[in-house]
Structure 1
Amino acid sequence: MTASTNVPTPPALLTTDPRPLYFRALAWVSGLAAAVPDEHLADPTPCDEFDVRTLLAHLVTTVRRPASIAAGTDPMAHELVSADVLDDPAPAYVAEAAALRDAFTGPTGDALLDRVAQLPFGEVPGRAALWAFLNETLVHGWDLAVATGQGPEAEPDLAAAALEAARAYLPAERRGGPIPFGPVVEPAPGAGPTERLANWSGRERPAAG
């Protein structure tokens, strides 16, 4: 999202506060995580590299990375999967998502939106980073819901706003390398906005059966 990586940040993402949307996404995924039965932890997900257990542990990482922005440390120092929570990843996600919200609504919360963070695609202000984490939260929430038989659609206005932002900063022709997304998937007839966001991010619903 910076000139140094040839991934420009759309101006709206530099002026818009994503926290209200992001917190709603965290709450939605926290509800999904809390409802995952233990017997589904080994099930596959639409994200080929994760089963349900490791997806939940990756979701913990997606919370720890913005938490590191708040703490002034390197967000990308966290491993892709938070191995320390693999024994019980769902409660860990719920607790750490709540703590993250507290960090970004505390006395320094507004200032964190302008704190520069180094992400794989370049240096961005905190507000732009949160737009990226919003996308990741909703897409992996969709993964989790599909894998565990839960309702896969977040509130329509939330997913639609995330999709509009994703189309601005994640064009269809720029995938791979520091932009870890696959090619855009054509949405199925009747797909809701969360599924369309997942499709834009290169995710596809598994074939029935």
Structure 2
Amino acid sequence: MTTAEDPRQTMIRAAELAGRVLETVPTTAHQDPTPCTEWTVGDLIGHLVAVTRRVAHIARGGYPFELPTLLDAEPDGGFTAAYLSGVDGVRAAWADDAVLTATVHHPAGDMPGAAGATVYSQEFATHAVDLAVATGREDLLDEEFLAVVLETARRVVPADRDGFPFGPPVEVPDDAPAHVRLSGWLGREPRVASRQV
């Protein structure tokens, strides 16, 4: 199965991108704001760790709401180690090809695993951008990859966001970098998402 046919590969690549950004975040930035206006950098990192656990959980037949969406305390060993371990858990939980056609319980509703992986790709990629923008590390972003994520997001994440964990689309210039256009499509304000290093 090629990368284009297997949304798990895109999901893992997006999760790895978020991990690369997360590894550079100093603890002094944890109280800083992010494009997720209700969350600080520290909150967003705690959410990312929680997301890895939820993504693995649904691949095993669980329901996402059985696990928290945000950690209320730093895990033993720190957030970065917990996140990287969580990504390993995602890889393991999604390794069986059967998960692509199995029904998974996504927050947006029950759907085939392939669709769930596609939607979670958007979440990991968007939060990678959120962290990079919040900490001034847009240089770590892979604009070519994010352009592919954006193309998929425009197909699978409707403008009507009922059930999806994104705000309504925000207009951004057509010639903006891919991370800015992805942020705009998934509800981030361009004045935040377009900030440069």
TM-score range, shorter chain: 0.7 to 0.9
- Decide which moves more: 20-29 or 44-53: 20-29
The one-character-per-residue Cα deviations of 1:159-203 (angstroms, maximum 9, x if unpaired) are 12221221112232x13x423322211114642112211110011
Q: 1:134 aligns with which of 101, 121, 126?
A: 121
What one-letter code is carried by the residue in structure 2 that aligns with 1:199? G
Q: Which residue of 1 aligns with 2:171?
A: 186
Distance 2:184 2:46 in 1: 22
Q: Which residue of 1 aligns with 2:43?
A: 54
User: How many corresponding residue pairs?
Assistant: 189
Structure 1: which 5+ residue stretches go unaligned? 1-14
Q: Which residue of 2 aligns with 1:42?
A: 31
SS at match of 1:184: coil
Contact 1:75 1:117 in 2 (8 A): no
Q: Which residue of 2 aligns with 1:24?
A: 13
Percentage of pairs with the same residue: 37
Tell me the TM-score normalised to structure 2 length.
0.85
Please state how far the C-alpha of 1:152 moved relative to its aligned partner. Answer: 5.8
Structure 2: which 5+ residue stretches go unaligned? none
Which aligned segments of 4 or more residues in structure 1 are displaced greater than 6 angstroms?
A: none
Q: Which residue of 2 aligns with 1:79?
A: 68
Compute the RMSD of aligned alpha carbons. Answer: 2.2
CA 142–20 in structure 1, closer or farther in 2 if over 3 Å, else same: same
In the alignment, structure 1 residue 117 sits paired with structure 2 residue 107: no
Q: 1:168 aligns with which of 127, 130, 155?
A: 155
The one-character-per-residue Cα deviations of 1:49-84 (angstroms, maximum 9, x if unpaired) are 110111001111221111002322212322220224
Distance 2:186 2:140 in 1: 15
